[in-house]
Amino acid sequence: MKYSIDIETVCGVKTCKGYNTVHQCPHDHALHHIKNKITKIGIYWRLKDNTEKFKSFDSINDFKLFFNDLPKENMELIGQNFKFDIKTLRAKGLFISKDLWSDDTRCMAIALSDKIPEKWLMFYNIKRNSLNKKLGKQIHRVAGKYSLKTLAPYHLNIEPFWENEDHSDEEYLFLDCKYTYNLESVLKRKLEEENTYEFYKDKLLKWEKMLYEAEYRGIRLDLNKMSELEIKYKNKEIDLLKQLDKELEKYNKLYAKKERQKLYEKYKNMYYNAVNKIKEELKEEKESKLKLKYKKLLRSALQKAPKTISFSSKSQVAWLFEECLGYDITYKKREKGKEIIKKGVGKEVINRLLLENKPYVKLYKEYSKTNKLNTSYFPSYKEKLVDDILYCSFNIGGTKTGRLSSSNPNLQQVPADLKEIFIAREGYKLITKDMSGIEPVLIAYLSEDHNLCNLLINGDNFHNYVTKFLVEYVNCDTSEVKKKFKAERDLCKVVDLSLFYGSGKNRLKTTSILHGFNWSDADCSFKIKLFKEKFMGAFKFKENLDKHLEKGLSVTNIMGRKLKIPDKDDVYMTGFNSLIQGSASDLVLESGARILEEKDLHPLLLVHDELVIEVPDNTQIKENEKKIEEKMTNYTLQSCHGVIPLQVEGNISNHWEK
DNA sequence: AGCAGGGCGATC
DNA sequence: GGACGATCGCCCTGCT
């Protein structure tokens, strides 16, 4: 028997100002399986004669009683983004076996290469906005292309539907369940029609279940270490700020003056505008009143006006560097194919100024980094922790390329310096393994490029190889490059892959400057020519791929995922990139799922080409490490030049290894 | 006051 | 003809 299930949740943190309400919680606690609170649970099914059955529950206990009484043999559960529901139910005491989870309409929509057109989504959002306008509040949030709110109207030919303000609407819950139930069969047919049903069922759904386990388990933080680091960086920030304020005192005064000037102008204009609106005959009596009013407003505004430069404001720092210190803060940027000159204090400008030995730049750079850690990492982690466990969400359909993404918090962008606070549970260790050099391997496998295949089959390192021929004078054994030409290799390492994906001489030049080399334009052009000749096969492959994608046709990646580029103008820059990065990501997902099938191995984090796995700290650990390596490399990448080997790197440790 | 959008930086 | 790409989240700013 098929059932579709849906739950409604709200913020469940009593001390939070969003407690028990939807949409107001600033931390999205409604989405946190431990910090949320279930308000309704709905279950929908159909009898043999097709009559609809629907039941809803206000409490988990009532639902539990009902659910436990249902016959489990041949039970099939369907959900929309069911990962969230099954996780939340489990956290509240109802464990549902993964085996009963038979379909996920969100995953189905992700696997379907036929996506909802952008235009359709636009119309949907216009409707949503006008509804919000009527309500006077942003009640209805953006519905993504994989949410039920857009999938159901699009695939089932029904009118868009909306929940009421408190999410407790019985009717809405019923529709949610019913549409999920109906979507399953429609999407199944569509997947079968385009031959992606197997990919969905055997791969994507399996991966989603693995992610569910990873999310449910969460990762432990070393709280002592964290507060130690937090204090360290707090003090560092205060220190740096003191230095900046001291050294730049006169500019602080200048800035305060400028801001005051701006306020004078602002309130002067407001005053004149107000005066102009008065009818001629009333002018005399009202004018003086207005003058007083705006004087008063100006006075209070002046009191609140900033007295020092805020170094976390890019525009203020830009003003300081350009107007006060006379630095050149321009940089080139491409927008819609055109090169434009922009101003800013981003990485590129800062690094150039550093090379020019401009004062204060180093100080500012350090301050920015510290400020970033203090404002966007520690507070976010602390707010999301449950005891010492941190939970994130993985989004399998979050990206255009097929890559995985992470949010709440995003554990795929943890700064290297903070990785040491991520630790194993008592009695466990963490094994960090990354599939180093996975992208060149996939490019070799898919394009069968002669040189690329051979160098990898020989066991040579891609970056070493590139360094050797890109830096003309290098003529040594490939294995010696890393030692003898470290700076050159570091430069090549950050730019070589991008050359496959379409980066050009400007990119090469900027990168060379960042690495302390000043390669000329001609030099860069020449090097790119060399690179293209060396890997002619790969570029030929890209050319053909682009032609194919530009026709609007789809390609299948290494794991069976179908990929289309909706806008043909995007193909040149994103087509090849998506195929390779999506394949790499799927390879890691598949590896994670295979690892989970083994006893006692718990994948926790997936970071594009890297897995962090929690394993028991016992005598089996070395064997387990071998097992993990085997799961990550046991793919046969057969090319016409031979089998291309996959390699993994990484260690067993108490914490997440850099 | 609250939202949208730009700029930026962390990761791969 | 020429262009690396993909995220998430924070801060600031300008608009209504």
Tokens 């090379």, residue?
A: A355
Residue A41 bridge partners (DSSP): A7, A57
B11 nearest neighbour residue (CA to C1'):
A413
pLDDT-derived band at A392 (thresholds 50, 70, 90) equals: very high
CA of A547 to C1' of C4 (A): 18
Tokens found for residue A144: 């993504």
- Residue A589 inside a domain? The answer is no
Predicted pLDDT of residue A139: 67
Question: What is the model's pLDDT at position A128?
Answer: 77
- If one compares A294 and A336, the residue with the highest pLDDT of the two is A294
> What pLDDT sits at residue A24?
67
Question: Alpha-carbon distance A103 to A200, whole Å?
Answer: 9
- Residue A619 falls inside a structural domain: no
Distance, Å, A413 CA → B9 C1': 10
Distance in Å, residue A182 CA to nucleotide C5 C1': 37
A252 and A185 share a domain?
Answer: no
A105 near A177, Cβ under 8 Å?
no
Residue nearest C9 (alpha carbon to C1') = A376
Residues A190 and A239 in one domain: no
Q: Which residues touch strand C (CB under 7 A)?
A: A 310, 312-316, 334, 337, 375-376, 380, 395, 398-401, 403, 405-410, 412-413, 497-498, 501-507, 570, 572-574, 577-578, 581
**A68 and A186, same domain (yes or no):** yes
Closest among A143, A208, A167 to A42, alpha carbons compared? A167
pLDDT at A43: 98
On the question of pLDDT at A482 being above 60, the answer is: yes
Protein-nucleic contacts, chain A 496-515 to strand B, CB < 7 Å: none
Range in A5-9, A144-148, A304-308 the model is least confident about = A304-308
Look at residue A349 and tell me if it is in a domain: yes
Give domain status of residue A68, yes or no: yes
Answer yes or no: do A181 and A263 share one domain: no
Q: Whose CA is nearest the C1' atom of nucleotide C2? A: A337
Judge if the beta carbon of A96 is closer than 7 A to nucleic acid strand B: no
pTM: 0.93
**Cβ < 7 Å from strand B, A residues 301-320:** 314, 318
Residue A612, domain member (yes or no): no
What's the pLDDT band for A120 if we cut at 50, 70, 90? confident
**Residue A21 belongs to domain spanning:** 2-194
> Is there a domain that residue A350 lies in?
yes
Checking if the pLDDT of A166 tops 60, the result is no
Residue A126 belongs to domain with CATH number: 3.30.420.10
Instruction: Say yes or no: Cβ of A579 under 7 A from any atom of strand B.
Output: no
Strand partners, A389: A220, A386
Structure tokens at A131: 């509804």
Q: Distance, angstroms, CA A351 to C1' B9?
A: 14
**End residue of a domain, out of A365, A383, A403:** A365
Q: Shortest CA–C1' contact from A504: which nucleotide?
A: C3
A250-CA/C3-C1' distance, Å: 43
Mean pLDDT, chain A, as a whole number? 90
| A610 CB less than 7 Å from any atom of strand B | yes
Lowest mean pLDDT among A250-264, A363-377, A543-557: A250-264
Mean pLDDT of the region A417-427: 96
Residues A70 and A156 grouped into a single domain: yes
Q: How is chain A split among helix, strand and coil, in percent rounded to 5?
A: 55, 15, 30
- Say yes or no to pLDDT of A276 above 90: no
Q: Does some domain include residue A574?
A: no
Query: Cα–Cα distance between A92 and A370 in angstroms, integer?
Result: 38
Distance in angstroms: CA A650, C1' B10:
22
Q: Cβ distance A183 to A81 under 8 Å?
A: no
The answer to whether some atom of strand B lies closer than 7 Å to the beta carbon of A368 is: yes
Q: Which SS3 state, helix, strand or coil, does residue A97 take?
A: coil
Quick one: pLDDT at residue A67? 97
User: Tell me, in Å, how far CA of A416 is from C1' of B12?
Assistant: 12
Q: Indicate if A165 and A308 belong to the same structural domain.
A: no
Do residues A174 and A277 both lie within one domain? Answer: no
Name the residue closest to B10, CA to C1'.
A413
The predicted model gives A380-408 an average pLDDT of 93
Residues A166 and A241 in one domain: no
Nucleotides of C under 7 A from a protein CB: 1-13
Same domain, A188 and A239: no
Q: How far is the CA of A344 from the C1' of B7 (A)?
A: 8
Same domain, A179 and A86: yes
CA atom of A83 to C1′ atom of C16, Å? 39
| Statement: residue A102 has pLDDT above 70 | yes
**d(Cα A358, Cα A325) in Å, to the nearest integer?**
9
Q: Is residue A493 part of a domain?
A: no
pLDDT of residue A454 exceeding 80? yes
How many contiguous H segments (helices) and E segments (strands) does chain A have?
A: 25, 20
Last residue of a domain, one of A365, A384, A409: A365
Q: What is the pLDDT of residues A300-351, one digit of tens each?
A: 778 777 888 889 899 899 999 998 999 999 888 877 667 788 899 998 889 8
Is residue A20 pLDDT above 90, yes or no? no
The answer to whether A396 and A404 are in contact (CB under 8 A) is yes
- Please give the share of chain A, as a percent, with pLDDT higher than 70: 97
Question: Domain check: are A142 and A244 in the same one?
Answer: no
The candidate with the shortest Cα–Cα distance to A196, out of A551, A508, A483, A555, is: A555
CA of A24 to C1' of B3 (A): 14
Angle, CA A206 vertex, CA A201 and CA A210 arms, to 5°: 165
CA–CA gap between residue A198 and residue A561 (Å, rounded): 10
Domain boundary among A365, A391, A413: A365
Query: Model confidence at A287, in pLDDT bands (50, 70, 90)?
Result: confident
Do β-strands A76-79 and A101-104 pair in parallel, antiparallel, or remain unpaired? Answer: parallel
Q: A46-55, A108-117, A220-229, A420-429: which range is least confident on average?
A: A108-117
In chain A, the number of structural domains is 2
- pLDDT at res. A473: 65
Whole-number distance in Å between A147 CA and C8 C1': 19
Statement to judge: residues A190 and A290 lie in one domain = no
Find the Å distance, CA of residue A149 to C1' of nucleotide C15.
30
